[in-house]
Chain A
Amino acid sequence: MESVKVGMADLAAVKSPNNLTTLGLGSCVGIALYDKLSQVGGLAHIMLPSSEEIKNNSNKAKFADTAIDILLKEMIALGARRKNLKAKIAGGSQMFSFQSKSDVLRIGERNVNATKRKLKELSIPILGEDTGGNYGRTIVLDTSDGSLMVKTIGHGVRTI
């Protein structure tokens, strides 16, 4: 069994028994998709809500909207069925706060909203969510049962 590491603005799809992990999510959102029947899992670590707001958008894994599309394709290529897919999401925190409520500082919340919007559009139900707050998260998707473990510093460990 191997734990495949997904970096910032990166994504990967694997089949059980391999697991997927991404470390230190801050305002970024980790989007875990899972098909229980084929035991195919996918994980994206997105940084920004929308590829449409940004001119230089060649890295599709960076944005909530385009990353989910690509992840879907890669998972289907590994044998996942679109209608079986379930999602769990984590991250989207606000690490620092300033008085000026600039868009960049609210990026965590915007990332979470954009992710939910996109998943809804694709009719992929969200079964678990651990988002917001002001702390970082490391997540591990277990492709044998679709559970998502969320580890934090000082805010406990939980499985969603």
Chain B
Amino acid sequence: MNIDNMNSMLLDVLKEIGNIGSGNAATALASMIDKKVDMDVPQVKILEFKDITDVLGGAEIPVVGIYFEMSGDIDGNIMFILNYESAVNLVNMLFNRANSNDNLEEMDMSALSEVGNILAASYINSLSSLTGMTLKISIPSINIDMAGAILSVPAVEFGQLGDKILFIETQFEEDDKRVAGDLFLIPKIDSFGKMMKKLGVS
């Protein structure tokens, strides 16, 4: 299968996968921070490598990336990305602190990893219970750095097969817009066939 000539049905299926997964993830996030969380309709994006970093507002913007390996009926990765300010606001909400501290300490990073873990797990759990697919995720790996450097990791995976990257993106936003994050589901192209078969689409 080639990313350049993907049909619209496959894109719809991918979008629906995003929809199923992220609804649950949004609910999980809302219950963790005890705030209303809005979610956009997930989008399937196919981008050239050179445009990837613009997705998050620029290659040098500092972001927190929480990265998972996904295996089973879909192989690939899940990545939850928060801009730095959102990450600080999110941990302040979790720890019930005033917004006085702008540095992320080890404890904060560990809390963010756990938030990512709960989001990613609720995403794939709902996906797996609704579709009957078997899905597993690894433990999270977290890093704070430039958006370009963080996104280069999934880009390299796609680089082995072609010159474009495909991902399913859902944007989350807390009611007061203090926390905004992006959840990326990045399926490996060679698992598309298996995934479509499992979903009964051909």
* Minimal beta-carbon separation of A56 from chain B (angstroms): 5
A96 CA to B161 CA, complexed, in Å: 21
Contact A47 B50 (CB under 8 A): no
A100 CA to B150 CA, complexed, in Å: 19
A48 CA to B159 CA, complexed, in Å: 7
Is B26 an interface residue when CB atoms closer than 8 A count as contact? no
* Minimal beta-carbon separation of B151 from chain A (angstroms): 8
Contact among B50, B69, B143 with A10 in the assembled complex (CB-CB below 8 Å): B50
Contact A8 B148 (CB under 8 A): yes
| Tally of A-B Cβ pairs under 8 angstroms | 113
Inter-chain contacts of A88 with B (CB < 8 A): none
Stretch of B36-44, B58-66, B168-176, B193-201 on the interface side: B58-66
- Number of residues of chain B lying within 8 A (CB) of chain A: 35
Contact B53 A27 (CB under 8 A): no
Contact B157 A25 (CB under 8 A): no
A7 CA to B95 CA, complexed, in Å: 39
Is B72 an interface residue when CB atoms closer than 8 A count as contact? no
Inter-chain contacts of B32 with A (CB < 8 A): none
Inter-chain contacts of B146 with A (CB < 8 A): 23-24, 26, 136, 138, 153
Is B99 an interface residue when CB atoms closer than 8 A count as contact? no
A59 CA to B153 CA, complexed, in Å: 18
Is B112 an interface residue when CB atoms closer than 8 A count as contact? no
Is B74 an interface residue when CB atoms closer than 8 A count as contact? no
Contact B149 A47 (CB under 8 A): no
Contact A54 B141 (CB under 8 A): no
A23 CA to B52 CA, complexed, in Å: 12
Mark A38-56 against chain B: 1 for CB-CB distance below 8 A, else 0.
0000000001100000101
Is A104 an interface residue when CB atoms closer than 8 A count as contact? yes
Inter-chain contacts of B60 with A (CB < 8 A): 23-24, 138
Contact A24 B49 (CB under 8 A): no
Q: Who on chain B is nearest to A154 by CB?
A: B144
Is A135 an interface residue when CB atoms closer than 8 A count as contact? yes
Contact A24 B156 (CB under 8 A): no
Is B160 an interface residue when CB atoms closer than 8 A count as contact? yes
Contact B145 A136 (CB under 8 A): yes
A134 CA to B159 CA, complexed, in Å: 20
